[in-house]
Structure formats: structure tokens, C-alpha cells
Amino acid sequence: MTDHDNDDTEEDTTRPKSEKAAMDPVRKWTFIVLGACVVLMVYYLVADRITPYTTQARVNALVVPIPAEVSGTVTDVAVTSNQFVEAGDLLFQIDRSRYQLAVETAEANLQSARQATGASTAAVTAAEAQTASARANLLKADQDAVRLRRIKQEDPGAISDRRLETAEATLSVARGQLRAAEANLEKARQDLGEAGDANSRILQAQAALEQAELDLSHTSVVAPADGIVTDVRVDRGNFAQAGAPQMTFLATHDVWIQADFTENNLGNIKPGDRVDIVFDALPGQVIRGNIRTTGFGVKVDSAPLGSLPTIKNDRQWLRDAQRFSVLVDFELPGTRERLAIRVGAQASVTVYTGRGWLFNALGALKMRLVSIFTYAY
């Protein structure tokens, strides 16, 4: 074998080694990327159960429409839209004049009812006296008739038949007078009813007075609690119809977040779990909260009675995950934060179910990064 042949052999043996060395970085990075994907997939699957996260979360509060409870012309509006109010603060005033007149009329009717009851009581007293007199007359007439009958039997000539007949007639009249007096007494008692303030006419007049006073008090519409008044749609001179909302009240004593999690997220979530919240309105801040409760139902489309079912032709490989609401309590640290958060504000929420310090730390880091990213959108 010549030297030329030896050189060719060495070149052939070294070429695959150099090509193999050149391929090692590609293979290396391929394995790194695949490994990272596997790690991220495992993290996602585990974190989805231990530290579930959602961006479908909004601030909610009790939204109360404020209607007029009595109809009338609005004489004053004491608030403007988006104004903070305290419990009992005047919102708007309805003309009091006709309701004040109704109170005065009801008071007069109550006085008349008491006077009428007094007159009926006097009538009962008079009827009782007449009944007692009739009963006494009947007793005397009966005694006279019995005495004359005995005398007539003992000595037929002692008294005349006419005198005995007169005594019998007087007795009969006395009986009739007693029956009439008792009937008049019963009628007087029925007209009176219960005596004193328990009388039905007095009770009815008293109820009418209380209703008139209640209507008068309803002419002043006040805030039901501490909160914010918004969507004011009334002004002086407007006629407010009873039951028609004139403005909207947002109660601030009970504000919560409704966070929508998938069914897979709910496995470990329980009331009291710690929560990190990032509001779009408060970039750079992570707010602490706690789970209040988890929802047990959502509205789904169903066919009404008497109709055919609706079938959805879903050809996707993976169906959309069903979400359920989870209510989150939270407290904002200062006045600026409270003014920045409005009903309907969006938020991102992570729940720490208490399992795995590593995932809790990674979840907290993720929320810190999310809070920084909110500066950009």
C-alpha cells in the first residue's frame, strides 16, 4: 500500500468524526427544547391542580336599583352620578304636600272613629239601662199578676175579672218590652264592637294613619347603605312613578371577585384558600384574597317543554372546558386602590391550594410577572 492510499484512509476515518461533532450541538439543543417542553407540560398539568390560574375574573358588587316608593313630582336631587354616599343620606325628594295632607286627613278620621266609638259606648250603656228597667217592670208585673190570681182563687168576689185581665195584659206588655230592650242592647253592642282602642273602626283608622305616615316618609328617598350612586336619571320637576328606578346604587360593604375556573381547576379549591389577584387597573401590585365559595351550577341552554332537543354538531377533537364561578373576597390596601377598582374591573387570579411549596413559589413569581406585564396593556 502506498503513502497516497494511507492518506485517503485517514481522511475517510476522520471525516465522519468531524461531521458527528458538528451534529452534536443540533441534537443537544433538540433534546433541550424537547425536555423543556416536557417540563413545561408537566408543570402545567400539575400547577393546573395545585395553583390554578385564570384571567376570566371580574369585580362584582351588589347593584341595587333605587326606585321611588311613592309617586310624585321630584322637588330636589341631592346627588350626582358616581358620588359616594353614606347610609341614610338623602338621594332625592318627592313633593310632600299631598302626602302631608293625607296624614292630616287620617288623623282627623282617627279622631272621628274615637268619637263614634264613644257615642256607641254611650248607646250601649243606655240600652243596658233600658234593659234593666224593662226587666224590673216585668218582675213587678209578674208579681202583681201572681198576687191577683191567688186572691181571685181564694175569694172570687174580692177582685173583678177586669182587674185581673188588666194585670195579665200588663205582664204581657212587660215581657215584650224586655225582649225589645234586649234586642236594642244586642244591636248597640254589635254596632260598638270591641271597646276602647281595640275597636275595629279605631284600628282601621289607625292603620290608615300609619300608612299615610309611611307614604310621607317614603317621599324622602335615602341611601340604603354606604356605597356609590351612579346612572342618575332624575332631575327636579320630573314625575317619579312608584316602582320605577331613578338611579342605581352600588353597595361597597360587600365587594367580591367572580373568577371562572375550569372543572379541572376545581378539584383542590376550597373556601379559605389564599389567592393572589392582579387587577388590570393596578399594574405592578399583587393583592391578597381568600376563596369565599365555589359555584355549584351554571346556566345551560335547554329546550322548552313541548319542543324537540337541539343537537350541536361538535366535530372538534377536544371540547371546550366548562367553567364554574368561584367567589373571592379581597381587601384593598388604600384609598387610591379603592377608587381605582370599579364594578366589572378585570383581574387575573391564582389560587394556592396549600400543596407544594415549589409550585406556590412559582405561582407567586408568575403573578409578580403578570403584575409587571399589566403596565403594557
DSSP string, 143-188: HHHHHHHHHHHH-TTTS-HHHHHHHHHHHHHHHHHHHHHHHHHHHH
Domain identity same for 201 and 188: yes
Residues 180 and 90 in one domain: no
Output the CA torsion sign for 205, 210, 216, 218: negative
**114 and 149: one domain?**
yes
pLDDT at 275: 95
Residues 103 and 210 reside in one and the same domain? yes
Binned at pLDDT 50, 70 and 90, residue 154 comes out as: confident
Residue 84 has pLDDT above 80, yes or no: yes
Query: Alpha-carbon distance 334 to 287, whole Å?
Result: 11
The answer to the question of residue 80 being in a domain is: yes
pLDDT tier at 189, thresholds 50, 70, 90? low
Give the distance from CA 65 to its chain's centroid: 12
Q: Are residues 134 and 72 in the same domain?
A: no
Q: So what's the pLDDT on residue 196?
A: 57
In this prediction, residues 64-81 reach a mean pLDDT of: 94
At 177 the pLDDT is 76
Q: pLDDT tens for residues 13-59?
A: 555 555 555 557 777 778 778 888 887 787 777 778 889 999 999 99
Q: Are residues 189 and 122 in the same domain?
A: yes
Q: Please indicate, yes or no, whether residues 87 and 110 belong to a single structural domain of this protein.
A: no
Q: What is the mean pLDDT of residues 106-132?
A: 73
Average pLDDT rounded to a whole number, residues 301-314: 70
Beta carbons of 74 and 234 less than 8 angstroms apart: yes
The dihedral built from the CA positions of residue 21, 26, 32 and 38, taken in this order, carries a sign that is negative
**Domain-located, residue 50:** no
Q: For residues 210 and 237, state if they share a domain.
A: no
Residue 65: strand pairing partners: 248
Residue with the larger pLDDT of the pair 163 and 233 = 233
Q: Are residues 222 and 89 part of one domain?
A: yes
| 195 and 123 assigned to the same domain | yes
| 69 and 136 co-located in one domain | no
Provide the domain limits for residue 155. 99-214
Please tell me the predicted confidence (pLDDT) of residue 122: 66
pLDDT band at 315 (very low <50, low <70, confident <90, very high): low
DSSP category for residue 194:
S
**Closest Cα to residue 98, out of 77, 119, 73, 123?**
73
Burial, 221: exposed, middle or buried (Cβ in 10 Å; 0-12, 13-18, 19+)? buried
Lowest mean pLDDT among 13-22, 134-143, 203-212: 13-22
Does residue 47 fall inside a structural domain? no
Residue 194's pLDDT is what? Answer: 59
Tens of pLDDT, residue by residue over 233-270, are 999 999 999 999 999 999 888 899 999 998 888 888 99
Question: Does residue 224 lie within any of the structural domains?
Answer: yes
Is residue 371, in this structure, part of any structural domain at all?
A: no
Kindly give, in sequence order, each residue whose CB lies less than 8 Å from that of residue 87, ignoring residues fewer than 6 positions away: 222, 223, 224, 225, 226
Residue 156 confidence (pLDDT) above 60: yes
308 or 59: which leads in pLDDT: 59
- Segment 281-309 mean pLDDT: 83
Contact 246, 92 (CB under 8 A): yes
Last residue of a domain, one of 248, 268, 299: 248
Of 372, 333, 328, 369, whose CA–CA distance to 351 is shortest?
A: 328
Q: Based on C-alpha coordinates, what's the Rg of the chain? A: 47
Domain at 69, CATH number: 2.40.50.100
Structural domain count of the chain: 2
Query: What is the 3-state composition of the chain as percent helix, strand, coil, each rounded to the nearest 5?
Result: 50, 25, 25
Q: Does the predicted model carry a pTM greater than 0.75? A: no
Q: Mean pLDDT lowest for which of 26-35, 125-134, 245-254, 311-320?
A: 311-320
Whether 356 is in a domain gets the answer no
- Within 10 angstroms of residue 286's Cβ, the number of other Cβ atoms is 16
- Examine residue 375 and state whether it is found in any structural domain, yes or no: no
Range from 12-16, 89-93, 161-165 carrying the lowest mean pLDDT? 12-16
pLDDT at 23: 53
How much of the chain, in percent, has pLDDT values that exceed 90? Answer: 38
105 and 241 co-located in one domain: no
Tell me what the pLDDT averaged over the chain comes to.
Answer: 81
Q: What is the per-residue pLDDT for 316?
A: 67
CB-neighbour burial class of residue 353 (10 A; exposed 0-12, middle 13-18, buried 19+): buried
Query: Does any domain span residue 261?
Result: no
Q: How many CB atoms lie within 10 A of CB 25?
A: 9
